[in-house]
């Protein structure tokens, strides 16, 4: 793989000379005038096609924060395999992310984050930076001012406990016997979202073992009072949920000493089997970095040496999360998103006018077809009779296909004229059946599991690192509804239940909350196209309220943006932030679906996208517009800045995707008051 100018990875392909003649010919650029929307579509199409890997997929870098890099170094230090070259390259990246005040943020332009700053500081100490270095002194002073290590999140203090920088007995207890809880018992492992489940199971082993490796240096400079590094935390009132769970944790600390050793060893061995059974073919766990890190530590503590095949392949998988930059810096991705990026790229290119039988679209469809998961995973615990058929987000993650990817892959496959239509139809049929079977009882869809809504996991003192359950969300539900409508199921009772849930979830101001993208712009940009696809006219009151909100949120420059702080402060930040290419595109997708293509808001939004496009057909977007956990874990998907603007501009120039319009017309799903949109001239 080769690094590209926007940070994405993929094999470089020849320019799309032939494809340009296959698409609708745009109007020539007027002498002296700026580029037209059609010109922008052509350039963006060429750029995106040139970034496809030879195997058929797309993948942009998935940028998070320096905690990933710091924890990678701490893991290697713990295992005794940290080498100077890795430490130097990681430190180069971490130093480059430090802000002038000495802190590290978890998203571009965000405030300094205590836990991320502590972990980055320790990583730089491992790489040889000293406390007296000016950048380190600024960081340690800020850390002390925020309460020091004692005020950090539990996960940060676990990492420090591995080296004796924090006491294990001052951390929440996490008993490995949790693995035996049946699913009807509160706080069984399937009450947690899949990402939390994969992390918590190995951490029960780590918590039980309480290992301590010799610290390579002290961290007294990060305590507000080095003589009292582990100050007690006050308890919440006993009548509150937080107080009750804090007292439960104290009871578990006492119980720890009473658990028979044989019972504890049996629980840890069960946890180890659970972990090993869920290792993917590429050696990773769940296709994401954090569970892989903790699984390796847990197995190492249980006697798996580094040459054991499970460990060897696990460590190799972590190396594949490294992105090496031209300056020699090494960034760690928390995850990789090829399926998600590929289906979104196909939708963008098809909606931009690339022919349905274009060689590169067919190659992408072939790759996606090969990625369909046809064996049960953890989702089958709650849906044991449901046949598999979903798609995952990553290269290898057969245990955890997700509902969002499956919906978007189906929408992408429908846009490709494949040489084996029977194969496509069977794959789509499996995907649709699986998505319908994963509907929660309230009529909506979560990302990975059914009815993953227990209120208890988030109450645990241990769980202060972000969202640990997977309740249904408006954005995922909208994507499923849009897909079902495209498959002729707009009037299916299950689809209508999803629509009813979406209507009930609309905010008073007309927007929808965005769980997996930032935030109300993303939620609204997802729901409005879904409702229109399901037959709602643009005049429907819910759509008119959404249009009104989007118009009110438009920035003076014509674009849209929303800061991640809207997850914490809705009143101040909802729909507010610097304009970005992806968020502007989300707003335009909603407005275009609502029939607003001739409105001033759409005109200004299209002009912003057209005028901010770079010469090579790409857009710049340093802002984080994706989320892992709202606010707590933010993501900059480097391909979002390409696929969503191209989709929006493509629909502006060419109108509604023809393949979906034709299917809707044949089914008779289109209401009489919603005629097919006419393409708009460039």
Q: For 571-589, b where at least 16 C-beta lie within 10 A, e where not — what string?
A: eebbbbbbbbbbbbbbbbb
476 closest CA partner among 504, 430, 512, 423: 512
Alpha carbon of 660 to those of 318, 426, 463, 624: distances in Å?
A: 40, 18, 43, 31
Q: Provide the angle, in degrees to the nearest 10, between the axes of the packed helices 474-486 and 403-413.
A: 30
Under a CB-based contact definition with an 8 Å cutoff, are residues 481 and 502 in contact? yes
The residues that bridge with 105 in the sheet, in sequence order, are: 112
Q: Which H helix or E strand runs over 612?
A: helix 600-612
The token pair that represents 470 in the structure block: 């997977």
d(CA 280, CA 277): 8
| Catalytic site includes residue 404 | yes
Q: Is 527 helix (H, G, I), strand (E, B) or coil?
A: helix
400 closest CA partner among 290, 280, 507: 280
Alpha carbon of 347 to those of 233, 464, 480, 522, 576: distances in Å?
A: 51, 37, 15, 17, 28
Q: Which H helix or E strand runs over 2?
A: strand 2-3
Q: How many CA atoms lie within 13 A of 207 on its CB side?
A: 27
Helices (H), 303-358: 309-319, 338-351
d(CA 67, CA 4): 24
Residues in CB range of 166: below 8 A, 6 or more apart: 149, 157, 158, 160, 229, 230
Catalytic residue among 61, 113, 404, 475: 404
d(CA 73, CA 595): 52
Unique residue bearing structure tokens 């993303």 = 522
d(CA 165, CA 220): 9
Alpha carbon of 640 to those of 68, 581, 636, 647: distances in Å?
A: 21, 8, 8, 11
676 closest CA partner among 613, 597, 609, 611: 597
d(CA 146, CA 59): 38
3-state secondary structure 142-168: HHHHCCCHHHCCHHHHHHHHCCCCCCH
Catalytic residues: 404
């Amino acid at each position: 793989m080769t690094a590209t100018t926007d940070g994405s990875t993929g094999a470089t392909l020849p320019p799309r000379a032939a494809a340009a003649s296959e698409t609708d010919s745009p109007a020539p650029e007027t002498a002296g005038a700026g580029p037209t929307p059609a010109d922008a579509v052509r350039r963006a199409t060429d750029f995106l096609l040139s970034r496809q890997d030879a195997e058929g997929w797309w993948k942009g870098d998935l940028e998070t924060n320096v905690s990933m890099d710091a924890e990678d170094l701490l893991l290697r230090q713990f295992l005794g395999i940290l080498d100077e070259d890795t430490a130097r390259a990681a430190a180069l990246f971490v130093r480059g992310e430090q802000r002038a005040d000495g802190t590290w943020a978890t998203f571009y332009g965000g405030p300094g984050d205590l836990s991320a700053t502590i972990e980055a500081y320790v990583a730089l100490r491992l790489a040889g930076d000293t406390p007296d270095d000016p950048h380190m002194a600024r960081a340690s002073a800020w850390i002390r001012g925020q309460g020091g290590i004692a005020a950090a999140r539990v996960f940060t203090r676990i990492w420090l406990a591995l080296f004796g920088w924090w006491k294990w007995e001052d951390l929440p207890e996490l008993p490995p016997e949790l693995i035996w809880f049946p699913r009807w018992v509160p706080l069984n492992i399937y009450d947690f979202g899949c990402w939390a489940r994969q992390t918590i199971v190995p951490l029960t082993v780590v918590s039980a073992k309480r290992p301590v490796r010799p610290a390579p240096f002290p961290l007294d400079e990060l305590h507000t009072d080095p003589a009292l590094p582990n100050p007690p935390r006050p308890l919440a009132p006993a009548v509150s949920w937080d107080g009750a769970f804090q007292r439960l944790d104290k009871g578990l600390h006492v119980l720890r000493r009473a658990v028979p050793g044989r019972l504890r060893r049996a629980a840890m061995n069960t946890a180890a089997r659970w972990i090993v059974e869920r290792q993917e073919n590429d050696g990773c766990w769940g296709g994401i970095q954090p569970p892989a890190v903790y699984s390796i530590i847990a197995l190492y503590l249980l006697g798996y040496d580094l040459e054991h095949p499970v460990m060897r392949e696990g460590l190799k998988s972590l190396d594949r999360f490294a992105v090496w930059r031209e300056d020699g810096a090494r960034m760690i991705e928390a995850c990789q998103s090829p399926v998600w990026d590929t289906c979104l790229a196909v939708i963008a290119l098809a909606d931009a006018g690339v022919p349905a039988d274009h060689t590169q679209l067919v190659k992408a469809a072939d790759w996606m077809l090969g990625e369909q998961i046809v064996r049960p995973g953890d989702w089958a615990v709650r849906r044991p009779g449901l046949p598999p058929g979903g798609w995952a987000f990553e290269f290898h993650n057969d245990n955890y296909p997700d509902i969002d990817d499956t919906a978007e892959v189906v929408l992408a496959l429908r846009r490709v004229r494949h040489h084996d239509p029977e194969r496509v139809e069977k794959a789509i049929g499996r995907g649709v059946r699986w998505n319908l079977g994963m509907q929660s009882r309230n009529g909506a869809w979560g990302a990975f599991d059914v009815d993953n809504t227990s209120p208890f996991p988030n109450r645990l003192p241990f769980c202060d690192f972000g969202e640990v359950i997977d309740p249904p969300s408006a954005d995922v539900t909208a994507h499923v509804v849009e897909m079902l409508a495209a498959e002729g199921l707009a009037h299916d009772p299950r689809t209508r239940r999803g629509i009813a849930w979406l209507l009930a979830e609309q905010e008073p101001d007309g927007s929808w909350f965005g769980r997996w993208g930032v935030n109300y712009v993303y939620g609204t940009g997802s729901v409005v196209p879904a409702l229109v696809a399901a037959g709602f006219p643009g005049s429907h009151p819910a759509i008119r309220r959404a249009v009104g909100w989007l118009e009110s949120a438009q920035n003076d420059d014509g674009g849209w943006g929303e800061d991640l702080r809207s997850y914490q402060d809705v009143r101040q930040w909802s729909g507010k932030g610097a304009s970005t290419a992806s968020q502007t595109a989300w707003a335009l997708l909603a407005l275009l679906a609502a029939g607003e293509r001739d409105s001033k808001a759409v005109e200004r939004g299209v002009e912003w996208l057209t005028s901010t496009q770079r010469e090579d057909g790409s857009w710049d977007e340093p802002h984080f517009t994706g989320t892992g956990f709202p606010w707590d874990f933010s993501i900059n998907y480097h391909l979002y800045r390409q696929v969503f603007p191209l989709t929006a501009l493509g629909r502006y120039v060419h109108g509604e995707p023809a393949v979906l319009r034709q299917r809707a017309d044949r089914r008779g799903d289109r209401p009489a008051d919603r005629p097919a949109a006419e393409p708009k001239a460039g």
